[in-house]
Amino acid sequence: METPKNSARVAEVVRFWLGSVFAAAKMRLLLVIVAGRYGSIGKAGISYTEQEFDYAVRIGKPVIGFYHRDLSTLPGAKLQPGDDARIKLAAFAKKVKERLCRAWSTPEDLGL
């Protein structure tokens, strides 16, 4: 999920959106795909995608993750610039790998 950086209520919106989706639509799980970009970072210092992930875990929703098998094969434009964000991306990928997950490198690999 990408959200404009200038939103003062992004974390609240993420919680509201996920709570509404999980409650109203009876969403059964969160699917997260991790590749070469960490994403926009909110006031909490983590990406909005990671906030969604953490919230889903916190409220007990199952999470299925896909992490890119080999980031070195991605074109430079698809890789995260900056060391701090790359460190956060690696930590987030590690967090995803601690749950039900699978490696991917092609769109076909994302099929369940």
The domains of the chain, with CATH numbers, are: 10-106 (3.40.50)
Predicted local confidence at residue 97, as pLDDT? 94
- Using CB atoms within 10 Å of the CB of residue 99, give its burial: 0 to 12 exposed, 13 to 18 middle, 19+ buried: middle
Question: Tens digits of per-residue pLDDT, 7-59?
Answer: 556 667 666 666 665 554 567 888 898 888 888 887 788 888 898 888 888 88
Residues with Cβ within 8 Å of 97's Cβ and at least 6 positions away in sequence, in order, are: 65, 67
Better-scored residue on pLDDT, 23 or 74:
74
Give the residue ranges of DSSP H helices in the chain.
Answer: 10-24, 48-58, 83-97
Question: Tens digits of per-residue pLDDT, 90-100?
Answer: 899 999 999 99
Better-scored residue on pLDDT, 73 or 60:
60
Better-scored residue on pLDDT, 6 or 82:
82
Nearest to 21 by CA among 71, 45, 56, 70: 56
Determine if the pTM surpasses 0.85: no
Residues with Cβ within 8 Å of 23's Cβ and at least 6 positions away in sequence, in order, are: none
